[in-house]
Amino acid sequence: MKKIKIGMFGLGTVGSGVFKTLKDFPEISVEKIAVKNLNKTRNIDNFDNSILTQNPDDILENKEISIIIELIGGVHPAYEIIKKAIENGKHVVTANKELLAKHGKELFDYAEKHNTVILYEAAIAGGIPLIMPIKTILAGNKINKIEAILNGTTNYILTNMDKNEASYEHVLKEAQELGYAEADPTGDVEGFDSTYKLTTLATITFKKRIKLEYVYREGITNVQAEDIKYANELGYKIKLIAYATIDEQDNADVRVHPMFVSKDETLAHINYVTNAVTLCGTPVGKITLSGPGAGEMPTASSVVGDILSITRELGTTDYILPMMRCLHEQNQDAKVIPIEETENKYYLRLIAIDKVGGIAEMTKVFADKRINIETILMKEVTEDNTAEIVIVTETCKEKLIQETEKELLNKSYIKKIASKIRISK
């Protein structure tokens, strides 16, 4: 077997994990690693700094190197590095969810044109085997639904809010102290991270391109301790769900937002930083894959898995097979329907002034929109004469719920709509 030479971009958390793991594979040689800072102390035993470079071309122009590993993240200069690697006939392994969500199709097409492959198992759900199984052993399926927890930080926060009956603010602060959330947590808590991952996952799974800008996104910053309490009472857990479906006419419904998930579902029991992906398809039915969605070693598992998939082929032939090529397959664009046109069950928490006939008048607003109410809970009236009312609807169009919300707020005895959370069917 000929020795395969690779070049790495980035030697942070994941990069170090990849480097350590590759030591067990003598057939693979890391030739060069491009980094920003040559003198940073690396968390790797007996590390030889001479392998480092600040010049990307030391890798990109090295004809001996057949695979590059891109672990620097963000769009630039990752985009330029990957394009140049492809032009120079190198295969690419990347963990860059943002880049793939924004430029995936262009890069995949570019790789196809230059007879190379881009593998990206680590970009979505960290160490969980996902892209490769979908494209190999599940290839006989038409998968039409994805429901997933793709962000560890938000799942950690929601789990702690649930277990400790604590507020979002309190738990976020704690998570930041423990290093589970960043100083600026926006990318996670506002759902950007999940949205990037879902965009590529849905594109690859449905074999139709989903454009990032059409994916609806809502974070967890408005989820309150009261909502979690009511969720439990009603038999649910609240999770930040990455949700995507596609119908026979290629209409896709793709979105990231908090959701009530029934305790009967596996996803409801996925806690702390664990990620999970449920896929529904024919003939397989429903499967759920769960595990660590981030971290040095789990992510390294997927990066090394991708490297081995390429090196096994390169070791025996220079021909990259359809199994690899199919990982790019996506055909034409899907029609992503706007959130207003989607159908959901809803949980609404209203703050109302206690008054005779209030409930009757309020429920009439729903009835006029032909929205059926499945459950209604009203807890004791507080000292300031207000009451908290929880409504669970049957399935209806988002547009109708939005209209209902407006009309409710026109009623003088409705003080506010404290929460609206969609319920997973």
Active site positions, annotated = 197
Site of tokens 């170090």:
16
Residues in the site for its own copies, rule: CB under 8 A?
Answer: 17, 20-21, 24-25, 121, 127-129, 131-133, 136-142, 264, 266, 269-271, 281-292, 295-298, 300-302, 304-309, 312-313, 315-317, 319, 321-323, 326
Q: Which is nearer to its own copies, 188 or 306 (CB)?
A: 306
Instruction: Provide, rounded to whole angstroms, the least separation between the CB of residue 132 and its own copies.
Output: 4
Q: Which is nearer to its own copies, 173 or 269 (CB)?
A: 269
Instruction: Provide, rounded to whole angstroms, the least separation between the CB of residue 423 and its own copies.
Output: 19
Q: Is the dihedral of CA 196, 197, 199, 200 positive or negative?
A: positive
Instruction: Provide, rounded to whole angstroms, the least separation between the CB of residue 369 and its own copies.
Output: 37
Instruction: Provide, rounded to whole angstroms, the least separation between the CB of residue 382 and its own copies.
Output: 35
- How distant, in Å, are the alpha carbons of 36, 71, 277, 325 from that of 98? 20, 12, 19, 21
CA 421 to chain centre: 19
Instruction: Provide, rounded to whole angstroms, the least separation between the CB of residue 262 and its own copies.
Output: 12
Q: Which is nearer to its own copies, 154 or 302 (CB)?
A: 302
Q: Which is nearer to its own copies, 137 or 409 (CB)?
A: 137
Based on C-alpha coordinates, what's the Rg of the chain? 24
Q: Is the dihedral of CA 137, 139, 145, 151 positive or negative?
A: positive
Q: Which is nearer to its own copies, 24 or 45 (CB)?
A: 24
Cα separation, 256 vs 264, in Å, equals: 21
The count of other CB atoms within 10 Å of the CB of residue 12 is 16
What contacts 294, CB < 8 A, 6 or more positions away? Answer: 126, 152, 273, 275
Helix axes 192-206, 97-113, angle to 10 degrees: 30
Instruction: Provide, rounded to whole angstroms, the least separation between the CB of residue 340 and its own copies.
Output: 33
Instruction: Provide, rounded to whole angstroms, the least separation between the CB of residue 377 and its own copies.
Output: 25
Cis peptide before 133 (omega within 30 of 0): no
Q: Which is nearer to its own copies, 140 or 357 (CB)?
A: 140
Specify the amino acid at residue 152: G
Q: Which is nearer to its own copies, 133 or 358 (CB)?
A: 133
